[in-house]
Amino acid sequence: DEDGESELLDLAIVGAGISGLMAAKTISEKRADIRFRLFEKSTHPGGTLDGLKTRWITPHHYHAMNLCRELQIPLGTVWRQSEASEARRSLVSIGPFRKRPSGSQGANSFMSSLRDLLVRLESTRFMAELDCLCTVKYIESNAQNMECFLQRKLLFEASRRFFRFLIKIGTGFYPSELTVAACLRLFRSMSSVRDLYDMLTLQNSHLQPAGSPNWDVLIERLVARVGPEHVTYSTNIVQVEISSDQRSDIVSLTDGTGRRWRARFVILAVSCLDLVQISILPEGPLYFHQPDIQLGLWSMANFTVRYPAPYWRDHGYTGSIFCPAQCLICYESGGNQLSGTYFSPLRGVLNDTERHLIRDTILRLLRTNFACRTMQKPLEFGLELHPIPFYFDVFPTFERCIIFSSTNVSCWYRGFINGSIQGGVRAAILALLEIRPQTITFREVTDMQCMHFKYFRQRSSYERVWYSLNLASVSRFLLGVGAVLLTYGAYRV
């Protein structure tokens, strides 16, 4: 209202992405006469549904699969929807453990191949160990730093670099910013470490709406469930102010034009990058600080490249690339089109020169990986640059009236479809506990607190012992035995 005396809402939801719409859906289905409204800064709902993190789900993602069944959205695998499904049987994907090209001969080639094999075995074994640790009912308290954990568990630096990259792009944190227990909880919210890896490498089990390469149908049906009259578009909330009333605290929201709304409770269902742009008064939470850089990655370059023909298929490739050494992820998003993300070490505001440098780097990497010179001559090239968010440490609620959909429990994973759904449900239940606690069942409260328990898997004692064996421990044992034998030999001499 122009005079600042607008109708008092029970709940205001900032952000009409999957997380915000899921929170609104949960609220509206209670039919408890709760006055709520969603505020979206763009002209359409859905958030960033065209990026790397919101492309697909897997059958292991309980909450996303359950929502698709409820909204009657048929799903199909990505491979079967390709125009070249028959030809894909002989095509290969480029992964982080690809064999080296057979150019060199002799002992050097043998040693390189042996090293690559050991790195692959060590990484896949450690991935299984993490799954064994994170898919149990109760994760043991472990305050050890995750970076130190990687140093102790992994022998090769190539394996450590792979897991640093996987943890960063999956959770939003560097290993040095996480404890072992916190990292395991993040992985459990994704169902497993292996599931995260398969999702980033685009395996055959990936699902998307049948007959459509995007998730617009999910957004449309969520908006229909919520009600279009509850969504206000082109409203960029820039300030949230908490003021004390005679009965309780009132939260005032102000957009970029100075227009104001009032609500008893607010859910901030926005990304980390948008969250830091909102001023919280009179004193906001300190929810981020400069990261302890391990990889030197500062920005994400989301790209889409279109060619006259799928040249990569002619060279025997599917179009999927997951290469931590080159900080590149790529997948086929159309018949003649590739999309993906390149993680750049450039920081700050990028000018045109740096944008051209990133563009040339991406095309060069595509040409090198697919062994095809024509990859450097696309018909179209689209590029969007975003800074990588800093380390976030946010409590689920602030002053009992501001609720965060993205928290320190699961930060960047909220960008994936399943994580966004989890964040929306969790924020809605927290809001209902304050607004209409009588509408919440015991099962919903436990589901909110133990949401990741949906992904339990029983592990046998044999599996636990097998997963605990690693090359780093064996190497330390052999070094210890060698030192003892050397000392004994010197003593005998």
Sequence-distant contacts of 242-246: CB under 8 A, at least 24 apart? 242/280, 242/281, 242/282, 242/399, 242/401, 242/402
Question: Rounded to whole angstroms, how far apart are CA atoms 374 and 370?
Answer: 10
Distance from C-alpha of 35 to C-alpha of 38, rounded to nearest angstrom: 11
Q: Is 19 annotated as a binding residue?
A: yes
Strand pairing partners for 77?
Answer: 207
Q: Order of strands across the sheet with 317-323?
A: 92-94, 317-323, 328-334, 337-344, 299-306, 380-387
Q: Are 105 and 137 in contact (CB under 8 A)?
A: no
| CB < 8 Å & 24+ apart, contacts of 460-469 | 463/132, 464/132, 467/125, 467/128, 467/129, 467/132, 468/129, 469/125
Rounded to the nearest 5 degrees, what angle is found at the Cα of 420, between the Cα atoms of 416 and 421? 120
- Mind spelling out the 3-state secondary structure of 433-473? HHHCHHHCCHHHHHHHHCHHHHHCCCCCHHHHHHHHCCHHH
Binding residues, as ranges, are 19
Binding residues for FAD, as ranges, are 19
